[in-house]
Chain A
Amino acid sequence: MTFKYNNVYINETSTICGPYENKGPLAKYFDKHYDDFYFEQKTWEQAEIKSIEDSVNLLLNKINLKNSDVDVHIGGDLLNQIVATNYASKNIGIPLIGIYGACSTSCLSLILASNMIDKNQVKNAIVTASSHNNGAEKQFRNPVEYGGPKKDYTTFTTTGCASAYLSNITSNIKIESGTLGTVCDLGITDVFNMGAVMSPAAAKVIYDHLKDTGRTVDYYDLILTGDLGEVGKNILKEYMKKEYNISLKNYEDSACMIFNTDKQPVYTGGSGPACLPLVTYSYILDKMKKGKLNRVLIVATGALMNPSMCNQKLSIPSIAHAISLEVSK
């Protein structure tokens, strides 16, 4: 399902990141960072709440608006009951649509907000996506201080929150269209190999998007997937070629951009709902504003992983959503 938008624009963005992201190659593009995982709070969960509040407050400051001027806040995170977003919303005070799309949250929120703005249901919206490395490790894997070996091909959840302000007021970044993805499952049970889990969903949504819009991969200056990592990137390329006969060109993965995988202890790259928007809202939009990129397809990929289901020996499903961004002339 692809939606075409005529008058939806990204007016402003804000990005908050944690210590590892701030040592990565894109550090200078982020608005604010914290040097430890606690963000001046007592626990990791509270740190994530703080990152969302910080990010939205910073965004409101940038656009010179009060919270009562914004019609809707659409956001999500990785924690159970999307608790970080819900708790942050207490202080943010904007009508909330809390969503869960695992690491595909960012594109899902952009699609929902764009639909509402395009149909004039709301005049503006704020979208957020956040994740916290230690909070996610605690919930999905082993205790953080536990050093039991992980596979070398796993990914490292990013810490931070990225927000964007969308409205129908013209700016130089236009949201041109968005494609909703379908849940895919090709039988991967390895919880460390999220790239392999998510590649089929990413491939499907890219194929659907190109089919619905009648485009080829050449149309885009950059196709940017969410958090497949070095391993998942290669799997996607090969799968895309074999299944859909599409050779990905101008293709990048934000997991490999946010960290320096050679020097930082992050295995094969970043992951988490914040990974793609942190890269997109800072670095990619900057490049678009400078005219280096004109058309970008961002594909947020989410592994719908649940430890109970994994223990019940079920394979891990995945979903991906795509958003097409264009520089408006």
Chain B
Amino acid sequence: MEKREYKKIVEKNTPSAPKLRNAIIAFLIGGFMGVLGNFLVDIYSFYFNIGSKDASVFMIITLVFLGCFLTCLGFFDKWVNFAKCGLIIPITGFAHAMMSAALEYRKEGLVTGIGANMFKLAGSVIIFGVVSAYIFGLLRIFIMGV
């Protein structure tokens, strides 16, 4: 049988993901994360009497901590699995990816285990985050002059 013909059999029998449902859940939970982030920024800037730029750093630290802490408690993976991009795209997804890799390899030593494997999933995010920031920075200079 040709590969193309077999692919048709496979596609016919493989259920497709409920994309609309997933998108709505991700939209709602992702939106809630945005609201939570903004709420934290407001709270921090109000109580600590700091600018919103500093307060957003505090907000990021809080969300990263929450992502890591809940991952360690062992149930955040089920939340992520349910919310999908709603929790993966925000900074919580990054924290979750790093912490889950660190947990996985913690018994293989600090350097050879945690150190070497912590960025297994999240390493790409950092690399391409830096690369794209650099490119957009250059574009900004060339186009806008600042």
As a 0/1 sequence over residues 36 to 51 of chain A, the CB contacts with chain B under 8 angstroms (1 = contact) are 0000001100000000
| Chain A interface SS verdict (over half) | loop
Bound-complex Cα distance A147 to B95 (A): 12
A145-B74, A148-B88 known; A238 vs B103 contact (CB < 8 Å): no
Contacts of B87 in A (CB 8 A): 147
Within the complex, the shortest CB–CB distance from A216 to chain B, in Å, comes to 21
Q: Identify which of B9, B13, B74, B101 gathers the most chain A CB atoms within 10 Å of its CB.
A: B13
A142-B121, A143-B104, A234-B13 known; A148 vs B80 contact (CB < 8 Å): yes
Contacts of B145 in A (CB 8 A): none
Q: Which residue of A lies closest to B3 (CB)?
A: A187
Q: Which residue of B lies closest to A42 (CB)?
A: B107
Say whether A231 faces chain B, with CB atoms less than 8 Å apart: yes
Within the complex, the shortest CB–CB distance from A189 to chain B, in Å, comes to 10
The residues in A between 143 and 172 inclusive whose CB is less than 8 angstroms from any CB of B are 143-153
B3 touches A152 (CB 8 A): no
Q: Which residue of B lies closest to A146 (CB)?
A: B100
Pick the contact of A242: B1, B15, B80, B100 (CB < 8 A). B1
Contacts of B6 in A (CB 8 A): 186-188, 200, 239
A147 touches B81 (CB 8 A): yes
Say whether B140 faces chain A, with CB atoms less than 8 Å apart: no
B104 touches A147 (CB 8 A): no
A186 touches B121 (CB 8 A): no
B14 touches A145 (CB 8 A): no
Within the complex, the shortest CB–CB distance from B81 to chain A, in Å, comes to 4
B96 touches A146 (CB 8 A): yes
Say whether B77 faces chain A, with CB atoms less than 8 Å apart: yes
Contacts of B141 in A (CB 8 A): none
Contacts of B76 in A (CB 8 A): 145, 147
Contacts of A142 in B (CB 8 A): 100, 121
Contacts of B97 in A (CB 8 A): 146, 148
Contacts of A42 in B (CB 8 A): 107
A144-B104, A146-B77 known; A235 vs B120 contact (CB < 8 Å): no
Pick the contact of B13: A43, A151, A238, A243 (CB < 8 A). A238
Please give the residue numbers on chain A whose beta carbons come within 8 Å of chain B beta carbons, in ascending order. Answer: 42-43, 138, 142-153, 186-188, 193, 196, 200, 231, 234-235, 238-239, 242-243
Residue pairs across A and B with Cβ atoms less than 8 A apart, 11 shown, are A142-B100, A145-B99, A145-B100, A146-B80, A147-B76, A147-B81, A147-B87, A148-B81, A188-B7, A200-B6, A239-B6
Which 7 pairs of residues, A with B, have the shortest CB-CB distance? Answer: A147-B77, A147-B80, A187-B3, A145-B100, A143-B104, A146-B100, A143-B100
